[in-house]
Amino acid sequence: MDLLTTFPNYATESPLSDNAEFPPSSDTEFYNSWNESWASEPFYNSAQIHQVMKIVSMVIYSITLVLGATGNGLVIFLTGFLMKKTVTTIWYLNLAVADFVFALSLSSEIAYLALDYHWTLGRLMCKLDSMVTFLNMFASVFFLTAISADRCVSVMFPVWALNHRTLELASLVAGCIWTAALALSLPYLSFRDTKYLPDGSIWCIYNFGSEDDGGLRTQQHFSVVMTEFTVGFVIPFTVILACYCAIVIKLRRSLFSRSSRSVKIIVAVIQVFFCSWFPYHLFSILEILGEDSLGMQKTLDIGAPVAHGLFCLNSCLNPLLYTFVGTGCKAASGRSFLSSFKGAFSEKWVPHTLSRSRNSSSASAVESTMV
């Protein structure tokens, strides 16, 4: 996991072996790292592939930086300054802050790639850049999970939600999410470091221990990747899937007119989350398996940058997904962007005339306008 300052590495390690530098510094190193099974493989220009994928990554990161900073900045402005503070705006404000900071952090990745993997910001920034990125990665995933859970509770237990779904509780949960994300990101301070090369260039890479203790390095690397996969994907995706499945079942039983559109929104949310995050974790796991084959190297060289790109694009897709899919594309096209954003983040599913009574008609009113 060493390519960028924040993501698994598919270029700074040799395509020849896990320990040799690329390109090999000498003929001896080349022959020591040669895998005889590759002799029967077709010619594969790894350096050329790395160069192409580097350009692809720079394009994706640049798009994410511009769209992510703009879209999430607009969400922060609306939910933080223009709109009335509600439970919904608390979720989206914090989600937008996480995605906004993540998008801005990509500027260092773009510079790192543009300088051909030369890190100029120093050792401390190398560590902080990685920690801040993963802090906002975990926070973004956790807030998406909280939004799903909040919607599920509001649909499944509408009367309870009316009485206990408060700003204080939402703020407390948001604080716990940031605390958990910080705790999960702190280890990256110790696992990230700079490496000085003979040609004068500096890498910002993962350092899981002494090169003499390969077993410990592998174990720490495995622990980091599996923690990311379990806490950053498996648990959140399971919760999101379970919540939205419960919502769909509830809405189908209610048989109200908006059920079809609501199901489409739910399916879109689940698909985007899965397609954005699963490839990243999949290729992280493939990298630690360490299969010594040219076929696997080809897969990692091409697939890893694409997976990392999808992971990054998620930060700028969230505002678009929850705004224009949530309000309906046809309806949103005839209104201003500001109106679309305000409509998406308002709690219009809670009728203004609804009191905190515990009767069934109140519960039905909430169900019929949720999502």
Retrieve residue 21's tokens: 């530098």
d(CA 225, CA 204): 18
Q: Crossing angle for the helix pair 122-156 and 235-254, nearest 10 degrees? A: 20
Query: Which residue type, as a one-letter code, is found at position 325?
Result: V
Question: Which pLDDT score is estimated for 208?
Answer: 76
Question: Domains of the chain: which residue ranges?
Answer: 46-369
What is the pLDDT tens value at each position of the chain, 371 positions in all? 444 444 444 334 433 334 434 444 444 444 444 454 544 455 556 778 888 889 999 999 999 999 999 989 988 998 888 888 999 899 999 999 999 999 999 999 999 999 988 999 988 999 998 899 899 999 999 999 999 999 899 888 989 988 989 999 999 999 999 999 999 999 888 888 888 999 888 998 888 766 656 566 678 888 889 999 999 999 999 999 999 899 888 877 765 545 556 667 777 878 888 998 999 999 988 888 766 667 777 888 888 889 988 888 888 887 777 665 544 444 444 455 566 666 666 665 443 333 344 444 444 444 444 44
Residue 244 and residue 266 in contact, taking contact as beta carbons nearer than 8 Å: yes
pTM metric for this prediction? 0.79
Enter the tokens of residue 287.
Answer: 């990298």
**Tokens 């072996």 sit on residue:** 17
pLDDT for 17: 39
> Which class in CATH covers the domain with range 46-369?
mainly alpha
Residues 6+ apart with CB under 8 A from 326: 265, 344
Give pLDDT, residue 295: 73
Q: Please give the Cα distance from 247 to 266 (Å, whole number).
A: 9
Tokens read off for 170? 């939402």
pLDDT value of position 39: 45
Instruction: Specify the pLDDT at position 33.
Output: 44
249: Cβ–Cβ under 8 A, 6 or more apart, which residues?
Answer: none
Distances (CA, A) of 168 to 95, 172, 182, 328: 17, 6, 21, 31
3-state SS, residue 21: strand
What pLDDT is attached to residue 286? 87
